[in-house]
Amino acid sequence: MPVKPLPARRILVFGAGAVGGYLGAMLSAFGHEVILLGRPAVVEAIRRHGLILLRPDGLQLTTRPHAIPDLDAVPSEVDAIFLTVKAYDTEAAIAAIQRQGWRSAMLFCWQNGVDGEGRLAAAFGADRVVAGTLTQPVSTVAPGVVRLERTRGGLGLAPMAPIQDLREWQAILQLTGFSTRLYPDPQAMKWSKLLLNLIANATCAILDWPAERVLRDPRTFAVERAAFREALAVMRALGLRPVSLPGYPIPLLAWAMRWGPASVVRTLLAFMGARGRGEKPPSLHQDLQRGARLEIEAYCGAVVRHGARAGVPTPVHDALARILEDLSRGREDRAAWRDNVTALLERIGRSAPGGWTARRP
């Protein structure tokens, strides 16, 4: 019996940054009608030259999705909305979607952090919302040009309502070229991705160091390990356990960060971090360098916020979040923090009197 082909979908990619560009390019290349909402400079570049995806194997993919600077040009209905904007733009995105009055579109939350899908579910109903993760590093090279740094990894999907059947969307994304895995618990999946996002992110931004250097230095590795353990403690308080994501055995990583010998774990993580991110700097470091607003609420801030609600102390993340906030607002001198590991350790020590390095969740 012949297999019935899956119909092409009309998909609005809400945010034409690195993640939105990557997803949009792949979906467009495989026959789906992609509408890419982006800033004027990005829209103009795509209209002139197409959306260009650079692959690590040297191949270049050019597609021509329908690029728009506002939602007025979107058809009356779309099959799905892929939300890829920064966490701090979530409420504005929700308001914009609500004004359009779409009733049947599924909403996929591809944002970093752990709260975006919950906000979407509160606004539109859990039965329309899907939590998503991407574990392939991508970066923006220029307006309308994105680069896939590593092919390793893929997508994770988890329903916000138990009644959802995501197998068809899994098949669509797999046929588009993504390794796609389904998960029953959206929070376990998103928190597991957050564990990856936290490693060598805030510390790189503060010290202006590459990830490999942060992970190789015993002093900064101790910061990373303590921060990771804090996040694990919050997860346990929330009743969550790490799950493996495409390309990343997160439970094994969690075990190593809790119990593995520091010298061994430090060396392995430095090697994996250098290979895993490719040429892409950690997101907080990249945004701070270009003077953009930082997604603190999606990283350190998320651990602090949920830790406070669960009664779990998070002094390392609290210190990192405060330093980043001061740097982003110009209250601290970036040059004074560059390479200043001593100042970082002192600040964390004041946040966690009694010796933060000795803490174990």
Q: Are strands 106-109 and 60-63 parallel, antiparallel or unpaired?
A: unpaired
DSSP string, 134-201: E-S-EEEEETTEEEE--S---EEEEESSTT---HHHHHHHHHTT--EEE-S-HHHHHHHHHHHHHTTT
At residue 120, the pLDDT reads: 97
66 - beta bridge partners? 35
Can you read off the two tokens belonging to residue 12? 């609005």
At residue 204, the pLDDT reads: 96
Give the number of other Cβ atoms within 10 Å of residue 345's Cβ: 17
Return the CATH architecture of domain 193-358. Orthogonal Bundle (1.10)
Name the one residue in this structure whose structure tokens are 């928190």: 191
For the chain, give every domain's residue range.
10-184, 193-358
Averaged pLDDT, groups of 10, the chain, 361 residues long: 69 96 96 95 96 94 95 85 96 94 92 95 97 96 95 96 94 96 98 96 96 93 96 98 96 94 87 61 91 93 97 96 96 96 94 55 35
Cα distances (angstroms) measured from residue 320 to each of 142, 309, 341:
30, 19, 12
| Record: fold of 10-184 | Rossmann fold (3.40.50)
Distance CA 177, CA 182 (A): 16
Q: pTM of the predicted model, to two decimals?
A: 0.93
Cα distances (angstroms) measured from residue 72 to each of 48, 67, 89, 92, 99:
21, 12, 19, 16, 10
Cα-Cα-Cα-Cα dihedral sign, residues 172, 10, 160, 138: positive
DSSP string, 318-333: HHHHHHHHHHHTTSS-
Cβ–Cβ < 8 Å for 97, 14: yes
At residue 358, the pLDDT reads: 39
